[in-house]
């Protein structure tokens, strides 16, 4: 009897407007086909297609699990169950390829990178026909310690792999569903900072032969093909040759693919796309903000975006616009303007993905390795592009998450749906209606998450209200004198003035122990809150300033009982902590975050330093308290 290998791809957590049109990723299908061809009894479960049969899983000789970052927790839960049953577990996929140490806490083996050759060398070694230490791309347990063999070079001969057989996927019927995914290449030559694809598949562009792609279309005979390449038109000549061959062979099902804006500037390619029955394109516009495009290293301009949209609209090719929001150069206005322009451009569908530091991406290294970001969550299930997991620069985490969802709701409005229906574009009408319901469901399921983000903005104000319930509101905020004497000082005074509040200076108790008329105990009840500056370390030239902050911190610890509610004001992080701190302070004086946001833009957005200034340079209007 053949040995049984069960492959599982856990359910995706992504909010996607095409969720109702499930197109499985190819990894487990390809590996399952190769295992079957080598005599294994194979079961492939893709949870987006059909539920996983745990009886089958627990009857396997080996279980393989494919993992994305957002599905890692459920992958690990499954792996734990399987291991406890005494069945070896092999985990692969993008997430674990970059975090094999983590994955080995839940599995026996981790196949890093492209897994075809590594997996089969592993199976041979498990049966005594190979040396585990020589298997490139493998992480495993050796003498109760984690071992990581060198990486495996990327596979060059893609045609040596068989055509993935969708028939081995439990619950899948290609003819009934009418659609499949075909990967004609691997790799991406671009270096977008938020993307993990080059880290996984390289910057080189490796291709299947055109003969092989044509054969794959012919064998499956689908009504719709999604070309699952990371960039279908990376080599435009080869793409043209493929499309010409599809036309000549009469193999022109409706198709879609991920492309870049440059595709639209090649008239011959556009004509061939239309003639070969291109139904829709998925374009990574990423942003309408030129500064954000530069920050992402996108190598495209706003003007190119507009021109590409016009060209595709002219050819009658539908556009799914993909955007990433929440960069250091973005604010709420940028997000809502993105949705407005998408409507104006007559895009059929959009997705606004919140910037997320995925393992394998340059942003992951920037956020985690350098510590330049204040991360709010390490729960991988939230790393799906629809949950804010870090503190952005020009918004609070709550404002970013709320704006991303609300802007999509603006796009998928009844008005926009009706406009598509009136044009008799029933496909777009269906997609937009489905997306509207999807967003409604997302809000219901994530209400507690949004409330948790919101509470981080208002919790200090609510604490202040509770602790000073017997004192009237003062509309005043206490600020250390040495902060007011820095370049930040005048901006703070103007910021609070725009919120209808005023600044009260205070200082720590003098070294000789004499009473200071503006010490913390003297301003309790006379301010709603105080600013507590925070610096992690002293930069060159700011040692004296840093020492004042440390002295104030010590003094505060000694007078916690008599001090008003304190809000930390982060001064040396370039990660949005300044804005988030000011939003918490602003919440004492208004519940209108839009008002806080506007006050910040008008007074603080350009201030990123706390270098001491002379007293003459800072002339705030302050409230002086009598002793």
Q: Where are the domains of the chain?
A: 4-148, 173-411, 471-617
> How far out from the chain centre does Cα 228 lie?
20
pLDDT score recorded for residue 615: 34
pLDDT score recorded for residue 229: 93
Of 75, 161, 46, 164, which is closest to residue 114 (Cα–Cα)? 161
Angle between the 236-249 and 210-220 helix axes, to the nearest 10 degrees? 40
Q: Could you tell me the CA-to-CA distances from 472 to 8, 222, 460, 466, 499 in Å, in that order?
A: 61, 71, 17, 12, 18
**Is 111 within 8 Å of 118 (Cβ atoms)?**
yes
Residue 592 phi/psi, 5-degree rounding, is -90, 100
Q: How high is the mean pLDDT in each 10-residue block of the chain (627 residues)?
A: 90 66 84 96 93 96 95 96 97 96 97 94 93 95 95 94 94 84 90 84 89 96 93 94 97 95 94 96 90 83 92 94 91 93 93 92 77 79 93 92 96 95 90 92 93 92 67 85 87 93 78 52 82 82 84 80 83 73 92 92 69 39 36
Residue 113 and residue 94: Cα distance in Å, rounded?
7
Question: For 427-526, where are the E strands, in sequence order?
Answer: 476-480, 502-506
pLDDT score recorded for residue 21: 65
pLDDT score recorded for residue 547: 87
pLDDT score recorded for residue 120: 95
For residue 319, list its beta bridge partners: 281
- CATH of segment(s) 471-617: 3.40.50
pTM above 0.95, yes or no: no
Residue with tokens 């507590």: 532
Question: For 198-328, where are the E strands, in sequence order?
Answer: 206-207, 224-227, 254-259, 278-286, 318-325
pLDDT score recorded for residue 469: 54
**Is 184 within 8 Å of 229 (Cβ atoms)?**
yes
**Is 579 within 8 Å of 601 (Cβ atoms)?**
no
Residue 602 and residue 615: Cα distance in Å, rounded?
23
pLDDT score recorded for residue 14: 63
pLDDT score recorded for residue 587: 93
| Pairing between β-strand 109-111 and β-strand 138-142 as defined by DSSP bridges | antiparallel
With respect to CATH, is domain 4-148 assigned 3.30.2010.10?
A: no
pLDDT score recorded for residue 106: 97
Of 350, 420, 351, 602, which is closest to residue 496 (Cα–Cα)? 602
Phi-psi region of 33 (alpha: psi -120 to 50; beta: other; left: phi over 0): alpha
Rg, the chain, Cα only: 29
**Is 42 within 8 Å of 7 (Cβ atoms)?**
yes
Environment class of 587 (CB within 10 Å of its CB; exposed 0-12, middle 13-18, buried 19+):
buried
Residue 247 and residue 288: Cα distance in Å, rounded?
35
pLDDT score recorded for residue 20: 60
Q: Could you tell me the CA-to-CA distances from 599 to 146, 500, 530, 587 in Å, in that order?
A: 52, 11, 19, 12
**Is 478 within 8 Å of 504 (Cβ atoms)?**
yes
Q: What 3 state SS string does 117-185 have?
A: HHHHHHHHHHCCCCCHHHCCCEEEEECCEEEECCCCCCCCCHHHCCCCCHHHECCCCHHHHCEEEECCE
CATH topology agreement for domains 4-148 and 173-411: no
The domain made up of 173-411 has a fold known as: TIM Barrel (3.20.20)
pLDDT score recorded for residue 125: 95
Of 386, 379, 373, 446, which is closest to residue 69 (Cα–Cα)? 379
**Is 194 within 8 Å of 385 (Cβ atoms)?**
no
pLDDT score recorded for residue 541: 76
Residue 449 and residue 44: Cα distance in Å, rounded?
33
Residue 254 and residue 197: Cα distance in Å, rounded?
26
| Pairing between β-strand 89-92 and β-strand 109-111 as defined by DSSP bridges | parallel
E strand or H helix at 577: helix 577-586
pLDDT score recorded for residue 218: 95
Residue 451 and residue 466: Cα distance in Å, rounded?
20
**Is 130 within 8 Å of 118 (Cβ atoms)?**
no
Q: Could you tell me the CA-to-CA distances from 515 to 10, 119, 360, 518 in Å, in that order?
A: 65, 74, 56, 9
Long-range contacts of 19-22 (CB under 8 A, 24+ apart): 19/434, 19/438, 20/434, 21/179, 22/48, 22/49, 22/177
């Amino acid at each position: 009897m053949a040995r049984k290998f069960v492959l599982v791809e856990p359910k995706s957590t992504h909010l996607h407007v095409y969720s109702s049109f499930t197109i499985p990723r190819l990894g487990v299908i390809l590996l399952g086909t190769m295992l079957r061809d080598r005599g294994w009894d194979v079961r492939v479960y893709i949870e987006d297609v059909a539920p996983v049969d745990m009886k089958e899983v627990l009857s396997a000789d080996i279980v393989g699990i494919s993992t994305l970052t957002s599905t890692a927790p459920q992958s690990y839960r499954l792996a734990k169950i399987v291991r406890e049953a005494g069945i070896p577990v092999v985990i692969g996929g993008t997430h674990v390829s970059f975090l094999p140490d983590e994955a080995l806490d839940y599995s026996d083996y981790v196949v890093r990178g492209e897994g075809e050759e590594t997996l089969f060398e592993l199976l041979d070694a498990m049966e005594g026909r190979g040396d585990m230490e020589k298997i490139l791309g493998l992480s495993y347990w050796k003498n109760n310690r984690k071992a990581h063999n060198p990486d495996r070079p990327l596979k060059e001969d893609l045609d040596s792999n068989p055509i993935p057989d969708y028939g081995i996927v439990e619950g899948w019927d290609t003819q009934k569903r009418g659609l499949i995914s075909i990967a004609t290449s691997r790799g991406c030559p671009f270096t977008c900072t938020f993307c993990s694809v080059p880290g996984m598949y390289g910057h080189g562009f490796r291709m299947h032969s055109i003969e092989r792609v044509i054969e794959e279309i012919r064998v499956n005979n689908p009504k719709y093909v999604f070309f699952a390449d990371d960039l279908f038109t990376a080599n435009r000549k080869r793409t043209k040759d493929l499309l010409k061959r599809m036309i000549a062979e009469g193999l022109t099902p409706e198709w879609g693919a991920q492309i870049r804006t440059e595709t639209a500037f090649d008239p011959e390619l556009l004509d061939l796309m239309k003639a070969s029955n291109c139904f829709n394109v998925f374009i990574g516009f990423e942003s309408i903000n030129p500064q954000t495009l530069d920050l992402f290293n996108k190598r495209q301009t706003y003007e190119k975006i507009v021109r590409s949209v016009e060209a595709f609209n002219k050819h009658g090719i539908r556009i799914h616009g993909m955007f990433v929001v929440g960069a250091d150069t973005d604010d709420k206005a940028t997000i809502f303007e993105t949705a407005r322009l998408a409507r104006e451009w007559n895009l059929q569908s959009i997705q606004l993905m919140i910037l997320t530091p995925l393992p394998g991406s340059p942003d992951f290294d920037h956020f985690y390795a350098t510590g330049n970001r204040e991360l709010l969550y390490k729960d991988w299930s939230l790393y799906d592009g629809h949950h804010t997991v870090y503190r952005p620069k020009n918004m609070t985490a709550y404002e970013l998450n709320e704006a991303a969802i609300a802007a999509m709701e603006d796009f998928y409005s009844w008005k926009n749906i009706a406009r598509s229906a009136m044009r008799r574009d029933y496909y777009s009408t269906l997609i937009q209606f489905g997306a509207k319901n999807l967003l409604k469901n997302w809000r219901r399921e994530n209400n507690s998450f949004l409330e948790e983000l919101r509470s981080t903005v208002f919790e200090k104000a609510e604490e202040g209200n509770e602790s000073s319930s017997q004192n009237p509101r003062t509309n005043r905020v206490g600020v250390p004198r040495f902060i007011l004497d820095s370049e930040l000082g005048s901006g703070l005074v103007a910021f609070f003035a725009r919120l209808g509040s005023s600044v009260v200076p205070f200082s720590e108790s003098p070294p000789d122990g004499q009473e200071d008329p503006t010490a913390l105990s003297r301003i309790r009840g006379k301010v709603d809150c105080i600013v507590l500056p925070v610096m992690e370390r002293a930069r060159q030239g700011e040692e004296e300033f840093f020492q004042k902050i440390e002295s104030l911190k010590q003094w505060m610890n000694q007078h916690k009982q008599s001090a008003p509610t304190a809000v930390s004001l982060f001064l040396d992080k370039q990660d949005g902590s300044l804005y988030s701190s000011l939003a918490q302070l602003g919440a004492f004086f208004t519940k209108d975050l839009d008002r806080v946001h506007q006050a910040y833009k008008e007074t603080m957005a350009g201030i990123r330093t706390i270098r001491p200034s002379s007293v003459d340079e800072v002339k705030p209007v302050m409230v002086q308290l009598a002793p």
